[in-house]
Structure formats: C-alpha cells, structure tokens
Amino acid sequence: MSNLEVIRQACTTRGGYFVHVVQDQEAMERRQFKLFDIGTELKVLSSKPSTHKNKHGEESNSLIVDVIGVRRVLVKSVPQREPFVAVETEAISATSPISDFQKELICDTFKACSELRSQLEIKDQTLSEVKETGRLPFTQLLGPGESSPQSDDDLESMVAKVKFVLERDGKELEKKDESLLIALAALQGVDPDTKMKALTQIEDEDLVRIASEGLEDTRKSLLAMKSL
C-alpha cells in the first residue's frame, strides 16, 4: 500500500511530483536499509484505478500510473520510512551542455537500436527489467494489468515532453539541463546494469560517456543477432 500512498500524496499535496530512489541491493542482502545517493524526480501524468491479482488469485486495489522523469536529484537525508519512505533532496544541475557531436551521436545510435529492435521484433524493455531496475527516466510507470512498458520513438520528443510538462507547471528547464536529458532518455535503450551505473554518476561527463558506450554496445549486440 505504500506505493499507492506515495502516488496519492504526490497528486494531492505536491502537484503530482515525487521522487524515486532505488535501494542498494548489497545493503538489502545484508538486511540493511540504504538508498542510492541519486534519485529521479517524477511527474504523474495520469492515473486510473486498477485491480491487482496475485499468484493465489487474491485481488487488491491498485493504480495504473503514467509518469515522466524530469530531473535527477541528490538524496540528502531520509527523514521518514513509514508509511512510505520520504527523502530530502537537492537538484542536480548540469554543469555544461553536452556537445552537438555527442548529442548527434547518441540520437543516431539510439535510432539505430530502435530500428534494429523493430526489425528483430524485440521490445525496448520487458516488464521484468522495469521491476528489477526501478522507475527510470522516460520509462512509464506500470501498474498491475499492464502487459508491457511503452516508450517514445525518439529522444528529442521525450525531452520536448519534459519541457512542456515543466513549463505548464511554471518551472523552467535550462538549456544545459535540456541537453543532458538527451543522454538520460537514451538510457532506456541499454541494459539494466548500464542504466544503473549511469544514473548513479554525479559528473555529467561520466553519465554521457556511459550512455554513449552502452548504446553502442547495444547496437553491436543487435547487429550480431540480426546476422544470425
């Protein structure tokens, strides 16, 4: 029920905004509670009631929620754990815009990966990946009843959507942050481990490098699959 309460609180008291932070898996294995230092601020775009049925056939109330990631945040403290985890955060602003060359390379490689997936009839992500890696930027949050995630067709349309949402809420997206969102959006096209590694980087240069390398590795893997 805590996830449902987070959504309700976000929609009723915070204009639809909330933060998603992934738990440290190594700490969990030691039965310790620890969050990653980097999280994602999300905006609820829409929600509708749903019913969740577990493996025993038991039903419970749930929600299907569409969200969009708008920025990365630094987790400063965890003042609350019940009935849901609450964190105090600080915005992470881009230090400098990515170069036009980097932007073009990321966009072109992402497009190539999308076209190869389409040819191979491979979806961008599976439901299990979303559950394993948490809600990442530009991945629509799934509720019970949804069979698979949905993603946008190109990176620039995703960034334009974020910009529209923020401007509608009276918030401004700086040019340098707008360009970094290109690299963040591209992470939906790479493997879960690469996503997590990139999203936990403080420095913009490291995030962009990991995103670019991850996309190129994905493109090569898809080309190898196509040649079989």
Mean pLDDT within 64-90: 88
pTM of the entire structure?
0.73
Question: For residue 214, what pLDDT is reported?
Answer: 92
Cβ–Cβ < 8 Å for 138, 44: no
Question: For residue 153, what pLDDT is reported?
Answer: 56
Q: Judge whether residue 47 has pLDDT over 50.
A: yes
Cβ–Cβ < 8 Å for 137, 88: no
Question: For residue 71, what pLDDT is reported?
Answer: 86
Mean pLDDT within 152-179: 83
Query: Predicted confidence band at 142 (pLDDT cuts at 50, 70, 90)?
Result: very low
The whole-angstrom separation of Cα 77 and Cα 83 is: 17
| Non-local CB neighbours of 220 within 8 Å, separated by 6+ positions | none
Question: For residue 123, what pLDDT is reported?
Answer: 54
Neighbours of 117 (CB within 10 A): 16
Question: For residue 134, what pLDDT is reported?
Answer: 38
Q: Judge whether residue 56 has pLDDT over 50.
A: yes
Mean pLDDT within 91-114: 85
Long-range (24+ apart) CB contacts under 8 A made by 125-130 are 125/149, 125/151, 125/188, 129/192
